[in-house]
């Protein structure tokens, strides 16, 4: 582990990699990790050339193995709210980023780790990963971004995870729709790249509009969601992206017909 439990770098394509670096502690969500994640999300959100974000844990044993058990043990009525609010801010920071966020999951994604993964747009996992919400087993409810799970896997499966605390394996998670892509551990990075390829081939501004629109859909009634889509479509023509990219697509079609 480094002195900084969370770091981020951005490559020439505009793809940022955010690393949670507590491999010796299963990358557990401590207060310092939560604050580091929130700060990283805030900094990346201001980066104009950002195209996508990949969020990962150090090592091979865990994405995030839950909240830091030692910090949980020290909480009381007065400090519990501040701690869990910091976890929420970390998750919400990545959920609100204007670009697609991919969770790269190897090993355990438990409790706060699964909440963080649920806050991402897409989840790519290794076949040896596992998922669970074990909070009730230690006397607390699953909260904050656990509220996103019914949208991903439905209420019945959410109840099964939250009320039993039992974990599921990667193949079950994929069958449930919790995981978008599954790969052998040695092929995990290649699977992430395969997902990044069409994202990077898409319009930068269109993707930002699309993500913002989908987030509004989660909270709007259908009629308002349709109207929000009309406004988003109109907004896309405030840039040269549609004219340029549609023109390129037409040129490719004409070339194929020759």
93-124, pLDDT tens digit by residue?
A: 999 999 999 999 999 999 999 999 999 999 99
The pLDDT of residue 254: 86
Q: Are 181 and 124 in contact (CB under 8 A)?
A: yes
State yes or no: pLDDT of 130 exceeds 50: yes
**Residue that is last in its domain, among 201, 225, 243:** 201
Is 69 in the same domain as 143?
yes
Domain limits at 136? Answer: 6-201
pLDDT at residue 235 greater than cutoff 50: yes
Residues 222 and 107 in one domain: no
Q: Please report the beta strands in the chain, taking only residues with DSSP state E, as ranges in sequence order.
A: 6-10, 15-20, 52-57, 62-64, 101-105, 108-110, 122-126, 130-132, 168-169, 181-183
Q: Which pLDDT value is given to residue 231?
A: 97
Q: Are 57 and 20 in contact (CB under 8 A)?
A: yes
Q: What is the domain count for the chain? A: 2
Structure tokens belonging to residue 7: 């770091």
Residue 1 is assigned to a structural domain of this protein: no
Q: Which pLDDT tens digit goes with each residue over 150-173?
A: 999 999 999 999 999 999 999 999
Q: What span, in angstroms and rounded, lies between the C-alpha atoms of 145 and 64?
A: 14
Tell me the average pLDDT across 53-59: 98
Report the candidate in 157, 83, 93, 145 with the shortest Cα–Cα distance to residue 118: 145
Q: Which of 164, 182, 201 is the last residue of a domain?
A: 201
What is the percentage of the chain residues whose pLDDT exceeds 90? 95
pLDDT class of 191 with cuts at 50, 70, 90: very high
């Amino acid at each position: 582990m480094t002195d900084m439990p969370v770091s981020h770098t951005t490559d020439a394509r505009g793809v940022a990699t955010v690393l949670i670096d507590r491999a010796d502690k299963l990358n557990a969500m401590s207060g310092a990790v939560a604050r580091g994640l929130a700060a990283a999300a805030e900094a990346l959100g201001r980066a104009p050339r950002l195209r996508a974000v990949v969020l990962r844990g150090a090592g091979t044993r865990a994405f995030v193995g839950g909240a830091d058990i030692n910090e949980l043990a020290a909480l009381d009525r007065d400090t519990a709210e501040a701690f869990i609010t910091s976890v929420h801010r970390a998750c919400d920071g990545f959920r609100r980023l204007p670009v697609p966020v991919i969770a790269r999951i190897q090993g355990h994604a438990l409790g706060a780790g699964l909440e963080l993964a649920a806050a991402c747009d897409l989840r790519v996992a290794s076949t040896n990963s596992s998922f669970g919400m074990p909070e009730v087993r230690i006397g607390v409810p699953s909260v904050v971004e656990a509220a996103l799970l019914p949208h991903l896997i439905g209420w019945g499966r959410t109840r099964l995870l939250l009320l039993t605390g039992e974990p599921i394996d990667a193949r079950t998670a994929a069958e449930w729709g919790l995981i978008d892509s599954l790969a052998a551990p040695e092929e995990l990075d290649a699977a992430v790249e395969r997902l990044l390829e069409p994202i990077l081939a898409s319009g930068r501004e269109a993707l930002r509009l699309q993500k913002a629109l989908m987030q509004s859909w989660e909270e709007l009634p259908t009629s308002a969601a349709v109207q929000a889509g009309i406004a988003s479509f109109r907004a896309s023509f405030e840039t040269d992206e549609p004219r340029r990219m549609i023109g390129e697509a037409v040129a490719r079609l004409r070339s194929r017909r020759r």
